[in-house]
Amino acid sequence: MTLLFARSHQWLISPSLKIFSRLLTLLIILTLSGNVVVADTYKEKLDLQPLSGQFLLASFNFQSHGPIEAFNKQMFQLFPRSLGQILQYTHTRELHLRFALGRWDSELWGAQPGDGQNAGGTGVETWAWVEADNDVEAEARWTSLNNALSGLFCASLNFIDSTRTIRPVMSFNPTGDYPTTNTSRLFLLHGSLPKEPVCTENLTPFLKLLPCKGKSGISTLLDGHKLFDASFQSMSIDVRPICSPHTGTCDIEIQQTIDMVLDISRSLQRKDSPVPRPRDQHELICDTSKPYASNEYCYPMDNSIDLPWSLSDLFGRTISGGCPFAIKIPTEETQHVCIHAPENKLKTMETLELAAPAPTEGQPDLKCYVLRENLPFDLSFPKQQPPISPLRQEPLLYAERSFTGHGQEHGGVKTVLRNPNPNDPVEVVYLESLPWFMKPYLHTFKAQVLPAFDGEADVISELYYRPALDRKRGTQLEAKLVVPPNSVVILTYDFEKAVLRYTEYPPDANRGFDVASAIITIPPHRQGSDGKIIPATSIRTTSLLLSLPTPDFSMPYNVIIFTSTIMALAFGSIFNLLVRRFVAVDEVQRVDLKGKIRGLLGRLKKGKTE
């Protein structure tokens, strides 16, 4: 503990104190060398991979391990105390938290990094295994977990209530090891908030969980302005216990990842002028390969040119040396920055000569570096002539989901699952968590296979369904199905839209209501054709925007106006009836002013004469 404390100060303090700090560290090492100190280990790695269409995928991975006994005794070393105490208080054994923005374009970019295990649906998604005696206790702990996390991550996770919580049956399996815990005491709960914005206030606490807090190591590149300018970005936090099968000792692991897809031309343009403006005509690169190209008109080549870039261009800064925790015990496997690109492209790459290259045996299209403390690192990737198509990994499955139908009352959902593999079928678990006001008709749930195929009736092998209860819980629909090789499965179902109460509408009801992404899980399996083992993969569709019948919110005022009008009319006529005296025309005494005046005058005259 003390050792780490002293080392952690090395990069915080001024150079004059550095020597003292070094001495102190040495002293502590000497004094502690007699005892066996089990310290947490920490790894961090940045993977860069150019994608097609001038996109660059940057995957940040931060991982720390520590003995679970120390964790249980609240002796936190590298594990963030703020999160650790929440997990202990709520008896959470395994936690997965996801923040995502944008859409992963699998047609263009291929398979998601990390087999999609680190990706979440749009907005915020979280699932956890909570240890409890019964359902009620588990739900209470889940609620307090979400409330605590909402305070920690500045997100409205407290909105995950019973209507947004589901308990998936097939989609999720614990990734941690539980040798001592009775698995019947572990409850899986899953919640999602598709509307939740992801912004700097979520990144700030994310970085604060890291041992180097974004001040050194690869996390120095994580700047909110660049991250939220990316075409796709996803942040994840996973906490799980891991046990060694040999020694039987258990560790607690926290893994934080950030995947971002940068648009290189956009990022480079930001560097020149902060406001994205259309390019000047002379800056445009015209596509002359088109048959309709001429000298008069320029058809600009969009994103297909191979721009040179460097880390400092894209992220606005260089990596300011390695994180002291990550370079503490260098091993042969230590790699901090890796770039995946075709071999001939890598040869021309330049780095600031301040990092040692790490060995990468048998992988010609990979180049890795080990960072050094306090020495900045940059990497520049030159322009390639001719442009080389980057590495792209074909995804196991393409998935798309959309709304069908029209009107304010009914609608339909259509999900298209395409298996690009020519030989092997894919078994998938399809999970939907729908809000209570979207009520699917289960009898309309159908799967259609294109091209038509004999065993079409058996495509869906298992189906779990939990119908919604108004204002209490949402619908959970989980289906296991097989997508035959080189074909498309289309899932469809119809639903009915509920009418909400006046006060249940959000302030921006006319925008629509977000429906969480469908979660498609491919369990680990062995491919039939080549015997290759495929690890568990997950894919998220985009979220949907459901428009519900919304009332006219000025209705109360209209009601007041109408009511007042009717009251005025009623009052007026009744008042007339009560006050007026109705008589026949001939009965009316004529008010003859002339006659009256004449009469008066006559009387006066009479008086005078008398």
Q: Which two tokens stand for residue 46?
A: 């940045």
Q: Rounded to the nearest whole angstrom, what is the least distance from the CB of residue 205 to other proteins in the complex?
A: 7
C-alpha 39 chain-centroid distance: 33
DSSP, collapsed to helix, strand or coil, labels residue 143 as helix
Q: How far is the CB of 193 from other proteins (least distance, A)?
A: 10
Amino acid at 538: S
Nearest CA-CA partner of 469 in 237, 222, 161, 219 = 161
**Contact at 8 Å (CB) between 483 and 461?**
no
Binding mask 78-107 for other proteins (x = CB under 8 A): -----------------------x------
143-151, 412-420, 442-450, 565-573 -> range binding other proteins (CB under 8 A):
143-151
Q: Residues 6 or more apart from 185 whose CB is under 8 A from it? A: 131, 132, 133
- Return the range that interacts with other proteins (CB under 8 A); candidates 141-149, 299-307, 332-340, 364-372: 141-149
Report the residue from 21, 52, 144, 269 that binds other proteins according to the rule CB under 8 A: 144
Q: Which position has the token pair 């996801």?
A: 98
In the shown chain, the binding pattern of residues 564 to 593 toward other proteins, with x for contact by CB under 8 A and - for none, equals ---------------------------x--
| Per-residue CA distances from 560 to 99, 557, 607 (Å) | 45, 5, 64
Closest CA to 148 of 95, 110, 103, 224: 95
223 belongs to the binding site for other proteins (CB under 8 A): yes
Whose structure tokens read 């930001």? 270
387: how many CB neighbours lie within 10 A of its CB? 13
From 251, 254, 219, 430, select the one nearest 336 (Cα to Cα): 219
* By CB under 8 A, residue 147 contacts other proteins: yes
- Site size for other proteins, by CB under 8 A? 36
Contact string 530-569 vs other proteins (x = CB under 8 A)? -----------------------x----------------
Residue 408 interacts with other proteins (CB under 8 A): yes or no: no
- Which residue among 53, 224, 300, 342 contacts other proteins (CB under 8 A)? 224
Least Å distance, CB 261 to other proteins, is 14
- Cβ of residue 90: shortest distance to other proteins, in angstroms? 10
Stretch that binds other proteins, among 224-232, 254-262, 286-294, 417-425 (CB under 8 A): 224-232
Query: Out of 19, 36, 136, 275, which residue is the one contacting other proteins (CB under 8 A)?
Result: 275
198 vs 477 by CB, closer to other proteins: 198
Q: Which two tokens stand for residue 414?
A: 């259509």
Asked if residues 218 and 338 have their Cβ atoms less than 8 Å apart, the reply is no
Q: How far is the CB of 202 from other proteins (least distance, A)?
A: 9
Would you give the end-to-end CA distance of the chain in angstroms?
A: 133
Distance CA 149, CA 143 (A): 10
Choose the stretch contacting other proteins; rule: CB under 8 A; options: 184-192, 221-229, 481-489, 601-609. Answer: 221-229
Measure the CA–CA gap between 154 and 149, rounded to whole angstroms. Answer: 8
| DSSP three-state, residue 353 | coil
Minimum CB distance to other proteins, residue 144 (Å): 4
CB-wise, 101 or 252, nearer to other proteins?
101
Binding piece for other proteins, criterion CB under 8 A, among 155-163, 367-375, 381-389, 565-573: 155-163
What is the residue whose two structure tokens read 């040798």?
A: 179
The arrangement of strands across the sheet holding 92-102 comes to 165-166, 186-193, 123-131, 92-102, 232-243, 250-263, 55-67, 41-51, 337-340, 366-370, 356-358
Q: Which of residues 295-334 bind other proteins (CB under 8 A)?
A: none
| Residues forming a β-bridge with 432 | 477
| Cα–Cα distance measured from residue 500 to residue 481, given in angstroms and rounded to the nearest whole number | 34
Single residue of 57, 78, 227, 447 touching other proteins by CB under 8 A: 227
Of the residues 156, 303, 374, 380, which one makes contact with other proteins according to CB under 8 A: 156
Q: How far is the CB of 507 from other proteins (least distance, A)?
A: 4
Query: Which residue among 29, 85, 151, 360 contacts other proteins (CB under 8 A)?
Result: 151
Q: Which parts of 489-518 interact with other proteins (CB under 8 A)? A: 506-508
Distance CA 78, CA 74 (A): 12
Q: How far is the CB of 146 from other proteins (least distance, A)?
A: 8
The answer to whether 488 touches 428, Cβ cutoff 8 Å, is: no
Q: How far apart (Å, rounded) are the C-alpha atoms in residues 346 and 58?
A: 16
Binder of other proteins out of 8, 150, 318, 492 (CB under 8 A) = 150
In this chain, which stretch among 195-203, 246-254, 351-359, 365-373 interacts with other proteins, using CB under 8 A?
195-203
Task: Considering only the stretches 142-150, 398-406, 417-425, 518-526, report the one whose residues sit in contact with other proteins under the rule CB under 8 A.
Answer: 142-150
Residue 300 beta carbon to other proteins: minimum distance, rounded to whole angstroms: 21
What distance in Å separates the CA atoms of residue 127 and residue 167, rounded to the nearest whole number? 9
Question: Pick from 173, 200, 363, 564: which binds other proteins (CB under 8 A)?
Answer: 200
The binder of other proteins chosen from 21, 159, 177, 313 (CB under 8 A) = 159
> What is the distance between the alpha carbons of residues 154 and 7, in angstroms, rounded to a whole number?
30
Nearest in space to 399 (alpha carbons), one of 439, 435, 432 = 432
- Shortest distance, CB of residue 496 to other proteins, whole angstroms? 25
Cβ atoms 142, 189 nearer than 8 A: yes
Nearer to other proteins, 217 or 390 (CB): 217
Q: Burial letters for 137-146: b for 16+ Cβ neighbours within 10 Å, e otherwise?
A: ebbebbbbbb
Residues near other proteins, by CB under 8 A: 101, 143-144, 147-148, 150-152, 154-156, 158-159, 195-201, 204-205, 223-225, 227-229, 274-276, 506-508, 553, 591
